[in-house]
Structure 1
Amino acid sequence: MTRLSVEMLAADAPEPITSAGHAQLGIAVLAGIAVIVLLITKFKLHAFLSLTLGSLALGAIAGAPLDKVLTSFSAGLGTTVAGVGVLIALGAILGKMLADSGGADQIVDTILEKAGGRSMPWAMVLIASVIGLPLFFEVGIVLLIPVVLMVAKRGNYSLMRIGIPALAGLSVMHGLVPPHPGPLVAIDAVGADLGVTLALGVLVAIPTVIIAGPVFSKYAARWVDVQAPEKMIPQRPSEELDKRPGFGATLFTVLLPVLLMLAKALVDIVVDDPGNPVQRVFDVIGAPMIALLASVLVGIFTLLRPAGFSKERISPLVEKGLMPIAGILLIVGAGGGFKQTLIDTGVGQMVLDISEDWAIPALLLAWLIAVVIRLATGSATVATVSAAGLVAPLAADMSTTHAALLVLAIGAGSLFFSHVNDAGFWMVKEYFGLSVGQNIKTWSVMETIISVVAGGLVLLLSLVI
């Protein structure tokens, strides 16, 4: 970024709510993040409350009037929830429909029928990647772990040979591919194009998931050679259903929002005329909210009706799908509030100045910031929303593709080395019956591989596009 572009951005930026210098702002940022980390890790306070208090601490130490800090935080929270809240809700509904109708099991069973022997790890990574598109990471784990355990037992596979590819598929989708909450928040924060980010995210995700999944699982199975624990093999949810939706219909429903968003991005590139009727139509149907809404409505007829769901059962299902996301929405919203507080106190301009003086590539800086916050808080979502707020000003004079790569760099950094302060770490440990050491050698190393490989691919792409 040139000095001229920095000066132009400074001229366009709103007046900061504090006159603090770089040193005071730097201390305020470190203190704000430290408050968040301490409250989450030491005092076990919910991330929503921790982000709220961290924002207030940041503003106070930066010397900003608290009424203006509250206004900034509230504005950021409202804008973020308005931007991604509906998308998260629609994704949760689609995931619940997929799970309760037996559609997820239908995809699993169909692919497993075609796989065996050496191809099984590849089948598992494919299953997890497809099912992981509309599902939150924790929901995906709960849904897929029974499948992983049963396949490992039935085929007498090492648990890591089957489990690592499945976990890699879920984790990569969670960190890099919208409509997951993390990428959506980062896209909203930096003003990136969703379709371009989705396309580049898939491009980065494919080699990343291959290396961290089937390839790494060979070594993980040697390091930790364990079998599926008998006590953790539950009954499959859809075994209670009389019938299930078809494989083709289920796959179409899952991939429909992705196809619509990618079609919009392709039409925007080929037509490149905002007044063109075709482009205007695709701008509407490829908008994230419309794409996900279409998938949910289609799912009523392709997932729920074939599974025997009456009209009376659909409304309760939607309600149950929405209940678990309350905490996620609040965390994402508070992250948006924290981001806006960072910007309004002038931290964004400080990051611009520092990144120019240090000559650190913006993508590497974004990855490193996300890594530090991930290691400290254990939350990929908190790392994403916080890092996006810090580096958002860097995207102001970036091209469309580089802004999308900035989002992916943040997402890659947010997955780095999951350890004992991450809820996902304990979920994997308990489901697989591993010790802490075994979980670090497998799950934690896998997450680090994902972060480093994806980050490296993002930097490589930035040199060629």
Structure 2
Amino acid sequence: MSLTYALITGIVAIGLIIVLIARFNINSLLVLFGVAIALLLAAGDTPAQAVASFQHGAGNALGSIGFLLAFGTMFGKLIAQSGAADTVALSVMARCGARNLHWAMAGIGMIVGLPIFFDVGFILLAPLAFIAAQESRKPVLFAILPLMASLSIAHAVMPPHPAIMQAIGIYHANLLENIALGLLIMVPTAIISGPLFTQFIMRHIGPIDTSPMEAEFLSRTALPIHPSLGRSLLCILLPFLLIGCGQMLTNLSTQGWLHMLGQFLGETNVSLIISLMVTVLLLCLPNGMTTRQIAHALHTCLAPTGFVILLVGAGGGFGQAVIDSGISRTLTTAALSAHVPPLLLAYLSAVIVRLATGSATVATGTAANLLAPAMAEMHGVSPELLVLATGAGSIAFGPVNDPVFWQLKEYLGLSLSQTFIVWSGTETLISVIILLFTLGLSIL
């Protein structure tokens, strides 16, 4: 596939998605499937190969996030229904004030985002953000946008996220230096792209309708007993604590029962199931919820997630179509053959893979592997800064083949144009800020 043909095909495919959904209001699932199949047919695949490629990508996306969405929604519903989210939200309001909610959510996102994937952190903390926004009488984006910005920044530059750890290993960078540099960059980037960007966005985004997901979390029955702050925090943080504990045990022991226990606790779905059971025992039953009410809450909360899960799968299917069509390989090869400075080359390579695959994790690992053979010729370039530049590029643009794009759209009830502003705009801003800080550090 020629570079020109790859560029034209990719631009037309993304343009079709935008026009068909935003202008003609065609169902997103139908558009993603249809454009993906057309893209593969244009690349020379047979209809059977095109459908198989889409199914493969959709299956991979659903396999990694489908049950996470379901279990995370169930956990969030119990946290909301039991009154724990209200208790924590009111505590945050009392300490920070409603005017500083965006700063508080940015801080929570940075802390939680250090050991936790973006997807997990967002799904589990979204109910808290919804309720905090309601309690403070602020728009939901006032709480959500700083939270997701901080989670995304941590995913891009901070160990022990797997993609960053992989890049550190490939570039032979120093882990402690990368942790220090990541922290140095994360805080100012979170301030600019979180609270400050939120205040700017709120004046330009327009009205946002209450999404089915938000309505589900906000529809809770008043209980006779309110849970204590300690129990509420314990249950809300329990999935993160279990995952972190699992990672620690896995790193401490390479084999034996401790290693197996670490793998068990570190598995996200397992930690969510354990957290669900603990929440029932510590919050729901003591606070007056009957087993019938608990079962009803767990059953009904899954209804709004059905379309979200299907859209996530469709986004993964479209991403796989971009890869299998050869667009990804053509653009990446062109970037590597261009004569650009090493840090910019690392950034641009990750950007291209991100646009082609939709995955930040894949973009970091792939770009690092592509550049590693050329490191011997990159005299005077810090491997730690290469890690940061690659991580910055890996989250650029928040493209439509990123399943999170569609997840956020449905979670927040955004239009397509609003999703581009909120998600794609935030991701691009974060990416550019991290790159500028990285280039500044290279000068110093």
Counterpart secondary structure, 1:456: helix
CA 1:397–1:128: 2 relative to 1, 3 Å = closer
Does residue 1:394 correspond to 2:375, yes or no? no
Q: Which among 357, 364, 367 is matched to residue 337 of structure 2? A: 357
Partner of 2:83: 102
Q: Which among 249, 264, 270 is matched to residue 290 of structure 1? A: 270
Does residue 1:315 correspond to 2:292, yes or no? no
Which ranges in structure 1 are unaligned for 5 or more consecutive residues? Answer: 1-19, 153-158, 179-185, 225-233, 374-382, 417-421, 430-435
Q: Distance in 2 between matches of 1:83 and 1:208?
A: 28
**Aligned residue identity for 1:148:** S
Q: Distance in 1 between matches of 2:167 and 2:17?
A: 27
Partner of 2:38: 57
CA 1:136–1:32: 2 relative to 1, 3 Å = farther
Residues 48-57 or 274-283, more deviating: 274-283
Counterpart secondary structure, 2:255: coil
Q: Distance in 1 between matches of 2:259 and 2:166?
A: 20
Counterpart secondary structure, 1:32: helix
Alignment of structure 1 residues 39-78 onto 2, 5 Å: 39-78=20-59
Alignment of structure 1 residues 436-455 onto 2, 5 Å: 448=425, 451-453=428-430, 455=432
- Residues 375-397 of structure 1 show CA distances to partners (whole Å, capped at 9, x for unaligned) of xxxxxxxx983787888743556
Q: Distance in 1 between matches of 2:276 and 2:411?
A: 31
* Preserved contact between residue 384 and residue 414 of structure 1 (Cα < 8 Å): no
Residues 130-139 or 23-32, more deviating: 130-139
CA 1:56–1:120: 2 relative to 1, 3 Å = closer
Q: Distance in 1 between matches of 2:334 and 2:46?
A: 25
Q: Distance in 1 between matches of 2:425 and 2:222?
A: 38
- Residues 323-367 of structure 1 show CA distances to partners (whole Å, capped at 9, x for unaligned) of 111122111111221222222232332233122023453444545
Q: Distance in 1 between matches of 2:39 and 2:424?
A: 30
Q: Which among 170, 175, 186 is matched to residue 147 of structure 2? A: 170
* Per-residue deviation, 1:403: 8.5
CA 1:134–1:426: 2 relative to 1, 3 Å = closer
Counterpart secondary structure, 2:237: helix
Alignment of structure 1 residues 206-355 onto 2, 5 Å: 206-214=187-195, 240-269=222-251, 271=252, 274-355=254-335
Partner of 2:133: 145
* Per-residue deviation, 1:56: 0.8
* Per-residue deviation, 1:78: 1.5
Alignment of structure 1 residues 112-127 onto 2, 5 Å: 112-116=93-97, 122-123=103-104, 125-126=106-107
* Preserved contact between residue 97 and residue 299 of structure 1 (Cα < 8 Å): yes
CA 1:105–1:36: 2 relative to 1, 3 Å = same
* Preserved contact between residue 62 and residue 313 of structure 2 (Cα < 8 Å): yes
Tell me the TM-score normalised to structure 2 length.
0.67
User: Percent identity at matched positions?
Assistant: 23
* Per-residue deviation, 1:69: 0.9
User: What's the C-alpha RMSD, in Å, of the aligned pairs?
Assistant: 4.9
Partner of 2:397: 413
CA 1:240–1:404: 2 relative to 1, 3 Å = farther
Residues 383-392 or 342-351, more deviating: 383-392
* Per-residue deviation, 1:138: 7.5
- Residues 52-74 of structure 1 show CA distances to partners (whole Å, capped at 9, x for unaligned) of 11111111111221211111111
Which ranges in structure 2 are unaligned for 5 or more consecutive residues? Answer: 113-119, 156-160, 169-174, 205-214, 373-383, 401-407
* Per-residue deviation, 1:250: 1.9
Q: Distance in 2 between matches of 1:175 and 1:65?
A: 38
Residues 163-172 or 387-396, more deviating: 387-396
* Preserved contact between residue 398 and residue 424 of structure 2 (Cα < 8 Å): no
Tell me the TM-score normalised to structure 1 length.
0.65
CA 1:215–1:299: 2 relative to 1, 3 Å = same
Partner of 1:9: none
Residues 51-60 or 350-359, more deviating: 350-359
Q: Distance in 2 between matches of 1:294 and 1:242?
A: 26
